[in-house]
Structure 1
Amino acid sequence: MRSLTMHLKILIAVLVALGISITAYQIFALGIPVTEDAMEDLWNIDAKVEFVANAKDPVKVQMFVPPLNRDYVSLNESFISNNYGVSVNRLDGNRKVTWSARRAKGTQTLYYRLVLTKREGEKSKVKGPIFRDSIAVEGPEKIAAEALLAPIRQHSADVETFISEAIKRTNNLNDDNVKLLLAGDTSTAHKAKIIELVLSIGHVPVERVHTLRLEANQPQTPELWLRSFNGNDWLYFNPETGEQGLPADRLLWWIGDENLITVDGGKKATVTFSLDNSRMNALRLAKLTDESTDSNFLGYSLYNLPLQTQQTFMIMVMIPIGVLVILILRNLIGLQTLGTFTPVLVALAFRETQLGFGIALFTIITALGLSLRSYLEHLKLQMLPRLSVVLTFVVVLIAAISLFSHKLGLERGLSVALFPMVILTMTIERLSITWEERGATHALKVAVGTLFAASLAHLIMSVPELVYFVFTFPAILLILVGFMLAMGRYRGYRLTELVRFKAFLKADQ
């Protein structure tokens, strides 16, 4: 007996752990929204390229475009041009688009359009350099860089603080060493070059990254940041302040020292960015993201089924929820019903009739059926013929109610035909047997209990947020099974028994 109890506990623990793990993986790793009405940001970015082409030269325009390899995922990317060939290549972590044409004349306009969203969930592992050789520098510049490096080493404890301290000291324009190295050029790009020089003497690698601020309806230009790899992840730094951490609204556009755009066979090239923000249903966005990547996490979910089948399964996955409600009402509260599944099936029928109308129809049909069953009992019929008569009566009664409802303009009454006739017949039969064996009071109590349990189960099974959650995360049903198994060993008092045995408590006092 002890080994059986341990076996049951292990089984419950495994089911609950498995259900929680799968659901947590879907939410946190795959980024599936917990609620159906959750919304996510969608960004539309346009890069307008303008230049003047040389009349007799072939034209080749190269521009960096976002690598989109970690934090963001592209939903749509297009290259708009007239009579230009287009190719996209990857090199050293960057992506570069090339527009080419044999001949072009006058002002030319090209467009790069990108629709993207934030990538949620599991991040892929990244790699980067953790050591670099010193940049060759001679004379006073070398002495100034080494003099600047000494206090940086003294006031830092690791790579993060080392780089932050180097940036802060390089931005101190009152320092004579800084003045010598900057040589009057205080632009952000030149400061970044000096920071890279100083860090290279300490063998700390750093890269320049150019980002775009995701802000709608505002003119944007790429911003320069610095980053360094600490062995596990990239650390980003503001080259002006030394502040660590790339803001969440920054999109990495390209890495390195090269210009955003280069034009062969043309001049006066400019790139103008325009951004627009919209919001989309998170689940629909997750589907689009799934189609745009290789993850295919929705390929093995219920959302991959045909639409009509999905609607059927939305009802089916809620049946265990209804069963759990009945189980709690019976085993913990002590409510008396006609079994466990009859109230659940009646609750399913309420989906079409709606609750109020369904209760009225159920009461009428059951009451008339019990009257017929009582009459047939006097005829001393066997069970099978008796059930056949009751079933036929139920069909006739349903047809009559539907007909009169239609004549009276109560179209809701037509849905009574969706009540399972066999269920109604067996309900009438079981209630009549209970009436004979336990009396009319007990039969009425069971009937009311069944109707109450079915109504409560229907209300809970119809909650849209719960339907979405269970359908989207069906592993939650494993947790329910674990709970049902645990209740299978419950032998304690029910709440209604506290009322039944209240007299004993008074007697003891």
Structure 2
Amino acid sequence: MRSLNLHLKILIATLVLLGISITAYQIFVLGIPMTEAETEDLWNIDARVSFEAAPKTPVKVQMFVPPLTQDYTSLNESFVSNNYGVSINRSDGNRKVTWSSRRASGKQTLYYRLVLTKRFSGEKPKEKGPIFRDTPPLEGPEKIAAEALIAPIRQHSADIETFVSETIKRANNQADDNVKLLMAGDTSLEKRAYIVETLLGIAHVPLERVHTLRLLANQQQTPELWLRSYNGKDWLYFNPETGERGLPNDRVIWWLGDEPLLSVDGGKKAQVSFSINSSEMNAIRLAKISDANTDATFLEYSLYGLPLSTQQTFQIMIMIPFGVLVILVLRNLIGIQTLGTFTPVLIALAFRETGLQWGIGLFTVITALGLSLRSYLEHLKLQMLPRLSVVLTFVVVMIAIISLLSHKLGFESGLSVALFPMVILTMSIERLSITWEERGAAHAMKAALGTLVAATLAHILMRVPELVYFVFTFPAVLLILVAFMLAMGRYRGYRLTELFRFKAFLKD
């Protein structure tokens, strides 16, 4: 007996742990929303390319577009142009779109649109980078100034991260004479980034330029320059003005390297303008779209991968264990008597179509009339099978009459009575009649009332939208429910109603 108790406890603990672990994995690792009302931000980025095309000259426009190997997931990418061919090429970690036309003249406008989301981006493969760089050619005063700046940087750094950060700080110190010499009067950010590259090149530390776009809604944006270096394991990103490490979460990498964003052959006065807007989308719908457009794994761990019609069926089926839980608590803990164990759950399912008030009324009327017929048939001394057949036929006739009258009176809800499980009604009438004969009218009425109460509570619980969504999205919670049912299977204590029944014994 002791080993059996231990086995049961281990089984319960295993089911609880497994249910919690799977659910936590879906919520915290896969990022699946816990509520149906949860929303997620979408970012719409429009890049407008404008230029003047030379008459009777082939036009070729090239522009960098964001790579697909970053934290943001691309949901939609479109190219809007008139009479232009479009192609995308990949090289050195970049993606470049090419618009081409045989003939174009006058002012030309091309559009690139991208829709991004942060959520459900999945695990991106890590890119590797160079860990060594050749020394750039320097001569004369520039070489002396660069070496003078490198010496204190070496003393104040311990690794790649601190070395790059210290170099950026030194290169931005315009009060230093060596920095002034290397700037040669040009204090622009591009020049300071060039000095940082030069100094790091002397130390054989690789550096790469990163051009980013800040996700800020309803504002015009221009690409921002950042720097990054590979330490052998990860890419380290740095602010080129402060040396601060870490790329902010609201930055999207647009392209890498020293090349300009846009190049136009066969045109002039080319420019690019960016506009960014944000919107919200239901998180669960966004998850489905992400699965369709990316290699996300959301649908692999949920029932949303089923066909839509099958999903609707499972949304009903998966709530049945919670209806059974209500019956379990009412019978084993409270002590309410019902007509059978699962009959209230089946009646609760019928309430989904009729509505709660109509369902209770229809159940009461049909059961009362059927009980009267069953009492009459008892006087005829019929066998059980013929008697049940007559009651079933009577139930069908009653359902048809009530549906017809409801339609004539304009109560369309009454038509739903046809969806009541006829066999369940028939068996309920039979069991109620037997209970009446064996244990009296009072006990039969208690059982009928208990059945209605249990069916009502089960219906209310099974119809809670938040619970339906949570269980359908995280079906592993049913394992926790099973564990609770197993624990209830060993309960041998008093029911709540029995405490009132045996109140006199407790006083003695």
User: In the alignment, what sits opposite 2:84?
Assistant: 84
Shift in CA distance, 239/500, structure 1 to aligned 2, threshold 3 Å: farther
Is contact 2:69–2:125 with CA below 8 Å preserved after alignment? no
User: In the alignment, what sits opposite 1:123?
Assistant: 123
Shift in CA distance, 496/191, structure 1 to aligned 2, threshold 3 Å: farther
| Structure 1 counterpart of 2:75, one-letter code | L
Distance 1:4 1:328 in 2: 24
Percentage of identical aligned residues: 77
> Over residues 407-436 of structure 1, what are the superposed CA-to-partner deviations in whole Å (9 max), with x where a residue is unaligned?
332221221221111111111211222223
User: In the alignment, what sits opposite 1:487?
Assistant: 488
- The offset of 1:14, in angstroms, is 4.0
Shift in CA distance, 197/441, structure 1 to aligned 2, threshold 3 Å: farther
User: In the alignment, what sits opposite 2:389?
Assistant: 388
User: In the alignment, what sits opposite 1:58?
Assistant: 58
- The offset of 1:191, in angstroms, is 1.6
Q: Which runs of 5+ in 2 are unaligned?
A: none
Shift in CA distance, 491/87, structure 1 to aligned 2, threshold 3 Å: same
User: In the alignment, what sits opposite 2:220?
Assistant: 219
1:432 equivalent to 2:433? Answer: yes
> Over residues 75-119 of structure 1, what are the superposed CA-to-partner deviations in whole Å (9 max), with x where a residue is unaligned?
222222233322111111110112223343333322222222224
1:326 equivalent to 2:348? Answer: no
Distance 2:335 2:233 in 1: 57
Distance 2:231 2:338 in 1: 65
- The offset of 1:10, in angstroms, is 4.1
Which is further off, 55-64 or 453-462?
Answer: 55-64
Distance 1:2 1:202 in 2: 71
| Structure 1 counterpart of 2:37, one-letter code | D
- The offset of 1:450, in angstroms, is 1.6
TM-score, length basis structure 1: 0.91
User: In the alignment, what sits opposite 1:441?
Assistant: 442
Matches within 5 A, 1:310-389: 310-389=311-390
User: In the alignment, what sits opposite 1:416?
Assistant: 417
| Structure 1 counterpart of 2:36, one-letter code | E
User: In the alignment, what sits opposite 2:164?
Assistant: 163
Distance 1:335 1:167 in 2: 76
User: In the alignment, what sits opposite 1:237?
Assistant: 238
Distance 2:160 2:365 in 1: 79
TM-score, length basis structure 2: 0.91
Shift in CA distance, 476/204, structure 1 to aligned 2, threshold 3 Å: farther
| Structure 1 counterpart of 2:482, one-letter code | V
> Over residues 392-412 of structure 1, what are the superposed CA-to-partner deviations in whole Å (9 max), with x where a residue is unaligned?
222222222223322332221
| Structure 1 counterpart of 2:69, one-letter code | N
User: In the alignment, what sits opposite 2:273?
Assistant: 272
- The offset of 1:57, in angstroms, is 4.5
Matches within 5 A, 1:428-507: 428-507=429-508
Is contact 1:52–1:267 with CA below 8 Å preserved after alignment? yes
Distance 1:376 1:15 in 2: 50
1:255 equivalent to 2:256? Answer: yes
Distance 1:166 1:325 in 2: 68
How many residues get paired? 507
Which is further off, 188-197 or 317-326?
Answer: 188-197
Is contact 2:54–2:106 with CA below 8 Å preserved after alignment? yes
Local SS of the residue matching 2:456 = helix
Which is further off, 23-32 or 375-384?
Answer: 23-32
| Structure 1 counterpart of 2:304, one-letter code | Y
Distance 2:258 2:149 in 1: 24
Is contact 1:31–1:121 with CA below 8 Å preserved after alignment? no
Distance 1:460 1:231 in 2: 55
Local SS of the residue matching 1:100 = strand
User: In the alignment, what sits opposite 2:105?
Assistant: 105
Which is further off, 93-102 or 25-34?
Answer: 25-34
User: In the alignment, what sits opposite 2:149?
Assistant: 148
Shift in CA distance, 334/92, structure 1 to aligned 2, threshold 3 Å: farther
User: In the alignment, what sits opposite 1:24?
Assistant: 24
Which is further off, 420-429 or 320-329?
Answer: 320-329
| Structure 2 counterpart of 1:131, one-letter code | I
User: In the alignment, what sits opposite 2:284?
Assistant: 283
Is contact 1:70–1:119 with CA below 8 Å preserved after alignment? no
Which is further off, 228-237 or 281-290?
Answer: 228-237
Distance 2:150 2:120 in 1: 40
| Structure 1 counterpart of 2:347, one-letter code | V
Distance 2:91 2:505 in 1: 84
Distance 2:184 2:263 in 1: 28
Distance 2:167 2:504 in 1: 82
Is contact 2:135–2:203 with CA below 8 Å preserved after alignment? no
Matches within 5 A, 1:295-306: 295=296, 297-298=298-299, 301-306=302-307
Shift in CA distance, 164/22, structure 1 to aligned 2, threshold 3 Å: same
Q: Which runs of 5+ in 1 are unaligned?
A: none
Matches within 5 A, 1:13-52: 13-52=13-52
Distance 2:130 2:326 in 1: 58
- The offset of 1:202, in angstroms, is 4.2
- The offset of 1:299, in angstroms, is 6.6
Distance 1:244 1:498 in 2: 68
Local SS of the residue matching 1:219 = strand
User: In the alignment, what sits opposite 1:194?
Assistant: 195
Is contact 2:32–2:298 with CA below 8 Å preserved after alignment? no
Distance 1:56 1:396 in 2: 85
Distance 1:456 1:310 in 2: 24
Distance 2:507 2:122 in 1: 61
Local SS of the residue matching 1:107 = strand
